Structure 1
């Protein structure tokens, strides 16, 4: 795969994962640079306005300038064929064609990763339960993966940073548009030992539909996903569903029947998720030995 052309195309307006999939299927990305706007419409289903914008960007963007920009901002670019592309993420059905990462790159290849997701309105009990279960894993060198959202995501990242651990924060925006704004300082702290990860170019603003897409990366980077507190209709349950589709283990913290933020986790347990009372329950399922046998 032509790495430079892939990165350039990824910065063009109108390009999504599916559009890039169509381009890659042509066999050579050089062919994409010979397509007319009408050709692109027929190949990808783009509307004329979007296709024209794509052609404009394709013909005017400069690969060397793009590479220089990211180097200047100390951001690493990983395509699917690169050596440091996370091996776990490469296993899923729809891995990002391009990843942009900032921070400790070695974390991307740590084999011990646990996704942590939950409500944006955690209870005190939920936060203490998270601390009790996850802290031993952090101290044992496990990488905590979450989405930098307010609430339980923030708690998971903060807990890891406070315990001098490594965490991956998966963004639903470009690295130049960290969302939510109040977590910009946390994002900077994460890069000291952990890493920020996104499939979106630097200046892409967060959009509502980005977050379900981001969730597949959280689960894809993780050997298992722990759902802490969640309502019955929750974005955290989307992540749990994606984790199951990707063949990952799903864990859930049980909660009171009177706590609406435990309804989703209790339902997950009822449907087969592993009930977690402590860190050992997770370790019993995610053994290094089993995953060491897998071919990436």
Structure 2
């Protein structure tokens, strides 16, 4: 993949300052090609990026110290493809976010980003066999109609979604809340390696960034942003799953919820969504029909 000089400068900046694109807006307004990136004084960086002078001084020092680092070659060595926001491979859907990723770091078949029909399947990390049974009915019709399954590689429902896509011969994208040098949770290491070969791992964080509590809510907007529709299997009323739904609603995405027992705490989230207007789903053809009509 060919990168412009401006995109190479963004890779250098983003490695040291891994923030969403909205945090770089004033910098691009001032210097659209980042031609003056290495010439700014610390006080200028502090004012433009709205960071403390101490942080700006540290950023300037790191940029200068690593000015000759061949980031592209380093990523290539680890089979990682960086996709800056200005690159043709960057998904148009993510440009609609308030805070689009400045760079996507992907591993695997990045052509999946261009697939038209992508469906997010999310739910609780404590999802039960009920989610697995529901996915046996929901995923096959999606796969048959070339929908790519998007989820977050977390324990529970996310893992079930990725595995169901593999089981039925489909394609799947895992959006990570950390850099590609880290794999979380550890029990999904083998699954992640499989996805990195023939499917896709995606993150907005440079490879060295480790999992943190705050990074996972951030990745939720990418899951919903990439997808045409979001399916919720099981989720507590207040959870990360529901925050993903909020992102999806903000961008007019279709929300589907698996109806559940009123005695199950993990059905409280989907049942509440149904009460608020989400579409009930018990078969993937319901989603396929909607996608085809809307498409």
The TM-score by the shorter chain falls in which range?
over 0.9
Residue number in structure 2 paired with 1:294: none
Q: Distance in 2 between matches of 1:264 and 1:15?
A: 31
Contact 1:215 1:239 in 2 (8 A): yes
User: 2: distance between equivalents of 1:199 and 1:208?
Assistant: 15
Distance in 1 between the 2:31 and 2:56 partners? Answer: 20
| 1:24 corresponds to 2:28 | yes
Match 1:11 to one of 15, 40, 46: 15
Unaligned runs of 5+ in 2: none
Deviation of residue 3 (structure 1)?
A: 0.8
Aligned ranges 1:43-82 → 2 under 5 Å: 43-62=48-67, 65-82=70-87
1:275 corresponds to 2:274: no
Please give the secondary structure, in 1, of the residue aligned with 2:256: strand
- Deviations along 1:75-127, whole A, 9 cap, x unmatched? 11111121111232233332211101110121111101000110001111222
Taking the aligned partners of 1:41 and 1:251, their CA distance within structure 2 comes to 44
The runs of 5 or more residues in structure 1 that have no matched partner are 292-296
CA-to-partner distance for each residue in 1:186-229, whole Å, 9 max, x for gaps? 11111232100000001111111111110000001101111111
Aligned residue pair count: 290
Structure 1's 234 and 140: CA in aligned 2 closer, same or farther, altered over 3 A? same
The 2-side partners of 1:85 and 1:13 are apart by 20
- Residues 27, 48 of structure 1: alpha-carbon distance in 2 compared, 3 angstrom cutoff: closer
Q: How does 1:143-162 map to 2 (within 5 A)?
A: 143-162=148-167
| Matches for 1:87-106 after TM superposition, within 5 Å | 87-106=92-111
1:153-197, CA deviations, whole angstroms, 9 ceiling, x for partnerless residues? Answer: 011011112222110000010101111122111111112321000
* Cα deviation, residue 20, structure 1: 2.1
Choose which of 170, 188, 192 in structure 2 pairs with 1:183: 188
- Aligned counterparts of 1:214 and 1:21: Cα–Cα separation in 2: 20
Q: Which residue of 1 aligns with 2:209?
A: 204
Aligned mates of 1:6, 1:172 — CA distance in 2: 21
Q: What TM-score do the two structures reach when normalised by structure 1?
A: 0.93
Listed as ranges, the matches of 1:171-250 within 5 Å are 171-250=176-255
